[in-house]
Amino acid sequence: MSLYTKDITLSADSPKELLLEKHVEFITKYGKSEDDYEFGMTDYLRISGMYWGLTALELVDKLQTLPQAEVVLFIKKCQDEDTGGISACINHDPHLLHTLSAVQILCTYDQLDKINTDRVVDYVVSLQQPDGSFTELLLEKHVEFITKYGKSEDDYEFGMTDYLRISGMYWGLTALELVDKLQTLPQAEVVLFIKKCQDEDTGGISACINHDPHLLHTLSAVQILCTYDQLDKINTDRVVDYVVSLQQPDGSFTGDKWGEVDTRFSFCAVATLALLNRLDAIDVEKAVAFVESCKNFDGGFGSRPLSESHAGLIYCCLGFLSITNRLDIVNREALAWWLCERQLPSGGLNGRPEKLPDVCYSWWVLSSLTILGRLHWINASALKSFILACQDVETGGFSDRPGDIPDPYHTLFGLAALSLLGSNCIKPVNPTFCMPQHVIDRLKIKYQLL
């Protein structure tokens, strides 16, 4: 038995000298033609690719063969306005790898003054986590987290979230669709489960089979079926009957037949009906009058007349007014100001004064500001840093605050908020319905934004 070492053989005609000029030519021409196979392939590492080529050329004293002004201008265009970070290509998301490559190139050219270096510093700082590490948006981990969530019936979370099963499905499923991974869930099973949760007596939908129906789960079920384009799988006329049955003489809505009145349920009612194109089934004028009666002196809204303003309820009331085309009753500037004041030094947003920041408020506040046309009043890069810091690096998923246990609820609202902030790797989300914008467009659902 001979001793075999894995290796290759150098052929006689292999080059024996350093082919400097050829290398210069190779690097100079590389990726010039947009037809090059490599051009497309390496699109996502364009700036790092420039760093390799350019540094190789400078090491053999041929840097002048590259068009310096073009390279510098390209880097300038790759600096992200929101975060200060630098992306591989124009209109891609910034990344720490490309940020370093860009700075290396500009140092070599002695052209650091051509980008906003203070913003680069902000970007790097924003990526440091409480444990000292650095991280970015962990999309694949989040998909894995949601897909696996509640799969085992032994899971602690499985039992805990039994009562919010249908809403839980809506959170997970919408989060997956926003990152284009909806196909990882078993659509037929989900649709069949929802069908079984429709109550024969009332037409409403419950969280689980054999539970009592509730308006929250009825909306979640309708949202899921809209996303799947499977509304014909339930009796939608009966859903409309159910929503109509919950409207009170003063125009308000209860969440179920025993429940208290709350502006959240006014939102659920009109959102459900709008998605079914049956807003005409209720007394919209009275419904609006009730929501208007919950408006406070600070521009915010509470759950009932004279209740304290709260970001979650403000979202519900603005969503309600967006659907009913009555944003004219809002005190726009005062409310937008109140919402902006929810941002804390950590970059995170709270739901009312003196409370801790929480990822889900990133959604309630940002969607409200988007409806008001005042999204730019928030410090977007600080907020993005806060949201990214709430990712669980090990399991995927987002938690309410850095270091807490992640769940599908905060995962949806973290991703949806990043979508509103303009992340390129997340699909656009509709601020009124918290659903993929393409679904709202497909169904031709009307909503008002200021």
Which is closer to Zn ion, CB of 69 or CB of 405? 405
| Binding piece for Zn ion, criterion CB under 5 A, among 47-55, 270-278, 288-296, 360-368 | 360-368
Residues in the chain: 450
Which is closer to Zn ion, CB of 80 or CB of 400? 400
In the complex, minimum distance from the CB of residue 407 to Zn ion, in angstroms, rounded to a whole number: 9
> What is the rounded (10 degree) CA torsion for 304, 306, 309, 310?
-30
Site string for Zn ion, 87-126 (x = CB under 5 A): ----------------------------------------
Which is closer to Zn ion, CB of 177 or CB of 400? 400
Contacts of 112 (CB under 8 A, 6+ apart): 103, 106
In the complex, minimum distance from the CB of residue 354 to Zn ion, in angstroms, rounded to a whole number: 16
| Binding piece for Zn ion, criterion CB under 5 A, among 104-112, 161-169, 328-336, 352-360 | 352-360
DSSP category for residue 247: B
Q: Does 407 sit near Zn ion (CB under 5 A)?
A: no
340, two tokens:
């902006």
Whether residue 225 contacts residue 238, with contact meaning beta carbons closer than 8 Å, is answered with no
Which is closer to Zn ion, CB of 393 or CB of 405? 405
Name which position in 177, 256, 262, 358 contacts Zn ion (CB under 5 A): 358
Which is closer to Zn ion, CB of 84 or CB of 397? 397
| Binding piece for Zn ion, criterion CB under 5 A, among 21-29, 63-71, 144-152, 359-367 | 359-367
CA-CA distance, 349 to 330, in Å (whole number)?
22
Question: Locate tokens 């696996």: which residue?
Answer: 148
In the complex, minimum distance from the CB of residue 135 to Zn ion, in angstroms, rounded to a whole number: 20
In the complex, minimum distance from the CB of residue 358 to Zn ion, in angstroms, rounded to a whole number: 4
Which ranges of 128-235 does DSSP label H, i.e. alpha helix?
Answer: 139-148, 156-160, 165-178, 187-197, 215-228
Q: Give the Å distances, CA to CA, from 231 to 14, 236, 302.
A: 67, 7, 32
| Binding piece for Zn ion, criterion CB under 5 A, among 28-36, 142-150, 394-402, 430-438 | 394-402
Contacts of 68 (CB under 8 A, 6+ apart): 109, 111
Which is closer to Zn ion, CB of 123 or CB of 171? 171
Which is closer to Zn ion, CB of 225 or CB of 418? 418
In the complex, minimum distance from the CB of residue 122 to Zn ion, in angstroms, rounded to a whole number: 26
In the complex, minimum distance from the CB of residue 413 to Zn ion, in angstroms, rounded to a whole number: 7
The count of C-alpha atoms lying within 13 angstroms of the C-alpha of 23, restricted to the half-sphere facing its C-beta, is 17
Name which position in 360, 388, 389, 412 contacts Zn ion (CB under 5 A): 360
283-322 positions binding Zn ion, by CB under 5 A = none
Which is closer to Zn ion, CB of 174 or CB of 202? 174
Size of the site for Zn ion (CB under 5 A): 3
118, two tokens:
């203070």
Name which position in 80, 93, 177, 400 contacts Zn ion (CB under 5 A): 400
Which is closer to Zn ion, CB of 150 or CB of 312? 312
Contacts of 295 (CB under 8 A, 6+ apart): 301, 317, 329, 330, 331
In the complex, minimum distance from the CB of residue 411 to Zn ion, in angstroms, rounded to a whole number: 11
Q: Does 339 sit near Zn ion (CB under 5 A)?
A: no
Tell me the residue number closest to Zn ion, measured at CB. Answer: 360
In the complex, minimum distance from the CB of residue 348 to Zn ion, in angstroms, rounded to a whole number: 11
85, two tokens:
């970070």
In the complex, minimum distance from the CB of residue 399 to Zn ion, in angstroms, rounded to a whole number: 9
CA-CA distance, 225 to 187, in Å (whole number)?
10
Residue 436: what are its φ and ψ, rounded to 5°?
-55, 135
Contacts of 329 (CB under 8 A, 6+ apart): 288, 292, 295, 321
Give, to the nearest 10 degrees, the angle between helix 236-245 and helix 263-275.
160
Question: Strands 429-430 and 435-436, how do they pair?
Answer: antiparallel
Which residues lie near Zn ion (CB under 5 A)? Answer: 358, 360, 400
